[in-house]
Structure 1
Amino acid sequence: MMQSSLIHMGQRLKQILKQKKIKIIDFAKMAGFTNQIAHYHLRNGDMKRVNLERFCEIIGITPDEFIRWNGTMQLANGKSIHHGNRLQHLIAEKGLNKSKLAERLNMSRRTMYNVFEKETFSPDELDRVARGLDMTPEAFLNPGTTQETRQTDSEEMMVLREKYYKILEEHNQLLKNYTALKDDVLKMKKELATLRKGKAKRG
């Protein structure tokens, strides 16, 4: 058992989950146990080393960072990790097009820029961003580590992905065309109404 007279392990875990905006029920699902068992661990003052390592892997920190936690995510060198800044750094590092990435993340550019301002992503946002970058959430949270990136898609998956993006682009174009046609119809209706009024006055 890991125990410290200065640290209540369960309370520390609860604090980290709260600050990383991970709901207890979501943590329980990621850990593969019930909500009741999650609360059991949060009430316990001590924790088995194997559980500590497992929980840290789930929430994306090291056991050492767990022990030294002071309210912010930190790298081994003590520097804080800002999730939004990390995302921007990876975009620049990978030479990604922000518009294309926004499409892959199924969000507008405006929303993506709002994401850049976030200090901590929710579990859903983290997984979504990691998928868009073709990497694991753990690799996103641990820069400079040897975390494995997601396996390269098979040729079939690559083809399907390209087809999806093409269909998405065509869909967006159709929406634009529909909006333009709708505006034209409204304009024609107004012009027709004006002509009818003019004709009625002359009659």
Structure 2
Amino acid sequence: MTTKEKHGEILERVVRRNRMGISELSRKLNVSRRTIYNWFGQDRLHQEIIWQIGHSLGQDLSVSFPDVFPKSNPETARPVEATAKPAGDSNSVYFWMNKYIHLLEKYNSLLSVEEEQAHAEDQHKSMPLRNRRTETFVYQ
């Protein structure tokens, strides 16, 4: 009895053999590192996800995933229903998880910008003002 290897395990092996790190791959795919690690644990992955990762790594993954990419013309190896986002359909847990994480990251970046502005204003208020004509300090 033969056991089929999980898609995630095959994908992890391919990604770790490549020189590109997981952080760089996640930036290229516009997903979080956590999403990539979640893919490594999946039994089956969508054809588009595998294709996007292979494209980002500059490799043809149809050799590693013969059950996902049947033997055909190499020019038609890209799936027909391909979209720009490899996150899957809108019913997928990972799709919504990625949206939520992306939203949190945007919110945190906005908060940090706001905090920096408030800090800069506090420093500006605490500095003494200069009288430009006489170059002397004016005390409030």
TM-score of the pair, normalised by structure 1 = 0.34
Q: More strand per residue: 1 or 2?
A: 2
Q: More helix per residue: 1 or 2?
A: 1
